[in-house]
């Protein structure tokens, strides 16, 4: 959520963000500013009325003690009328504050000045590429053929038991999932992230705090009876861990890593790009989350990006880093990188990670602050997160990249200690 001071002092910046991100309506800025002005005017009137009410109470008390009932009566009448007006003003102030808050929740975060302006994925900038795409002396198979050939996953029975996008992993496929989770967590904790195991369901306040609501309702599952949401990413519970708390400056930065299953409806997804592991409704992911001082957040973004790239390098998979444009960045981010791994069987790039800086946008919603020792004031932290990594497309790329002429799959050496086997097939 944007700071009210920004709305008052720099409305054009917000209008530009709405235009560049193609989210929300520019007129909402004027509506929000009008609500803010009305709220402040009513609040001033309320405070003045409350002050007058206090004065009247004191005067009435003095006259009654002095036995001057006749002189006190006009003040009593005024006080009664004023109390009714105060109640009306309190209701109006609350209504205006709630309306303003709802509108502020709909305004997107401002892109950082380094973010390219653009509308579509074609406007994203490829800023780094690592590794060589493999060449094969045989017809390379896509991962869905390799999964079936080696009995690594069962999509048909998953669809029978639950629905499309909920596969069973079986045999070495299940072992590979477990191995990758363990591997990714080890890399994160070696880099100083504190591991946690968060809840898999969150309430509406948590989903609103990270910006999933009111923006991503279409991709979230909801348990209406209990008012809970299965998490679309560990970002949601972990970022809410310190909600409504004030942290000590010396405790920053705070860095967490968490493995969770993730649940996404992915409304509107269809076609070849969602086949097999390309897009699932339930998938596993290791997430990185940081709480940092504002002055450190862009240095932290680059460090987190390097932490997310590290497993791809160790796995020997070709990948590229994209700096996302304004129109393909998302509602909550100020700056975002995507990491895409090369799918040798499909001959295209697959996203496996997003690394984002939100500045104070999420902290404004969750009210996570720290005490600035130099000023004595409480300031909002900056929050960041990144996937390190999402498993399904990593698995797809691994199987396709390391397939052999005889149909087996030779896993990279770095995984052998985690899987307990070197080859599949």
Question: For 4-105, CATH number?
Answer: 1.10.287.40
Q: Catalytic one among 297, 387, 393, 400?
A: 393
pLDDT at 274: 82
Ordered by start, the domain boundaries in the chain are 4-105, 121-424
68 Cβ contact partners less than 8 Å away, ≥ 6 residues apart:
none
Q: 393 catalytic, yes or no?
A: yes
Q: Catalytic one among 297, 343, 354, 387?
A: 354
Q: Catalytic one among 90, 148, 222, 351?
A: 351
pLDDT at 60: 93
DSSP string for residues in 312-369: HHHHT--EEEEE--GGGT-SS-SEEEEEEEEETTTTEEEEEEEEEE-TTHHHHHHT-E
* Tokens 């299940």 belong to residue: 174
Q: 321 catalytic, yes or no?
A: no
Angle at which helices 297-315 and 172-190 pack, to 10 degrees?
A: 140
Q: 354 catalytic, yes or no?
A: yes
Q: 13 catalytic, yes or no?
A: no
Q: Catalytic one among 15, 206, 255, 264?
A: 264
Cα(117)–Cα(127) distance, rounded to whole angstroms? 15
Please state the pTM of the whole predicted model.
0.92
Q: How do the pLDDT tens digits run along the chain, 425 residues long?
A: 999 999 999 999 999 999 999 998 889 999 999 999 999 999 999 999 999 999 999 999 999 999 999 999 999 999 999 999 999 999 999 999 999 999 999 999 999 999 999 999 999 999 999 999 999 999 999 999 999 999 999 999 999 999 999 999 999 999 999 999 999 999 999 999 999 999 999 999 999 999 999 877 888 999 999 999 999 999 999 999 999 999 999 999 999 999 999 999 975 555 557 899 999 999 999 999 999 999 999 999 999 999 999 999 999 999 999 999 999 999 999 999 999 999 999 999 999 999 999 999 999 999 999 999 999 999 999 999 999 999 999 999 999 999 999 999 999 999 999 999 999 99
Do 328 and 21 meet the contact criterion of CB atoms below 8 Å apart? no
Q: Catalytic one among 15, 279, 305, 321?
A: 279
Task: Please give the structure tokens belonging to residue 39.
Answer: 């709220």
pLDDT at 138: 96
Which CATH number is 121-424's, of 3.30.930.10, 3.40.50.2300, 3.40.120.10, 3.40.50.1820? 3.30.930.10
pLDDT at 341: 98
Q: 235 catalytic, yes or no?
A: no
94 Cβ contact partners less than 8 Å away, ≥ 6 residues apart:
none
Number of Cβ atoms within 10 Å of the Cβ of 244: 11
* 387 beta partners: 287
């Amino acid at each position: 959520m944007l700071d009210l001071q920004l709305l008052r002092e720099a409305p054009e910046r917000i209008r530009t963000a709405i235009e560049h991100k193609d989210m929300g309506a520019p007129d909402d800025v004027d509506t929000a500013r009008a609500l803010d002005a009305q709220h402040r005017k009513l609040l001033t009137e309320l405070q003045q009325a409350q002050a007058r009410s206090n004065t009247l109470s004191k005067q009435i008390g003095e006259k009654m003690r002095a036995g001057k009932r006749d002189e006190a009566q006009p003040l009593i009448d005024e006080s009664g009328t004023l109390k009714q007006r105060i109640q009306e003003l309190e209701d109006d102030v609350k209504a205006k504050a709630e309306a303003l808050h709802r509108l502020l929740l709909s305004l997107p975060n401002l892109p950082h000045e380094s973010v390219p302006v653009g509308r579509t994925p074609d406007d994203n900038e490829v800023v780094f590429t690592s590794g060589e795409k493999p060449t094969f002396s045989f017809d390379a198979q896509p991962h869905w053929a390799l999964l079936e050939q080696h009995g690594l996953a069962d999509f048909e029975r998953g669809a029978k038991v639950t629905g499309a996008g909920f596969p069973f992993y079986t045999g070495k496929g299940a072992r590979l999932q477990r191995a990758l989770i363990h591997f990714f967590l080890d890399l994160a904790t070696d880099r100083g992230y504190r591991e946690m195991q968060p809840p898999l369901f969150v309430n509406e306040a948590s989903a609103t705090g990270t910006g999933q609501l009111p923006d991503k309702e279409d991709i979230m599952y909801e348990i209406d009876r209990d008012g809970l949401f299965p998490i679309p990413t560990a970002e949601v519970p972990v970022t809410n861990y310190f909600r409504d708390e004030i942290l000590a400056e010396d405790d920053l930065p705070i860095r967490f890593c968490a493995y969770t299953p993730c649940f996404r409806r992915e409304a509107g997804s269809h076609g070849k790009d969602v086949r097999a592991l390309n897009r699932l409704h339930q998938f596993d992911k290791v997430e990185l989350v940081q709480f940092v001082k504002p002055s450190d957040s862009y240095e932290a973004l680059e460090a987190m990006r390097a932490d997310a790239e590290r497993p791809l390098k160790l796995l020997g998979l070709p990948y590229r880093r994209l700096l996302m444009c304004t129109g393909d960045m998302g509602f909550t981010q100020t700056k975002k990188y995507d990491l895409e791994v090369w799918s040798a069987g499909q001959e295209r790039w697959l996203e496996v990670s997003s690394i984002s800086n939100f500045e104070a946008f999420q902290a404004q919603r969750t009210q996570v602050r720290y005490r600035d020792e130099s000023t004595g004031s409480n300031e909002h932290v900056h929050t960041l997160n990144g996937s390190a990594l999402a498993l399904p497309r990593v698995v797809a790329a691994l199987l396709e990249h390391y397939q052999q002429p005889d149909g087996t799959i030779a896993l990279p050496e770095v995984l052998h200690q985690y899987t307990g086997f070197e080859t599949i097939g």
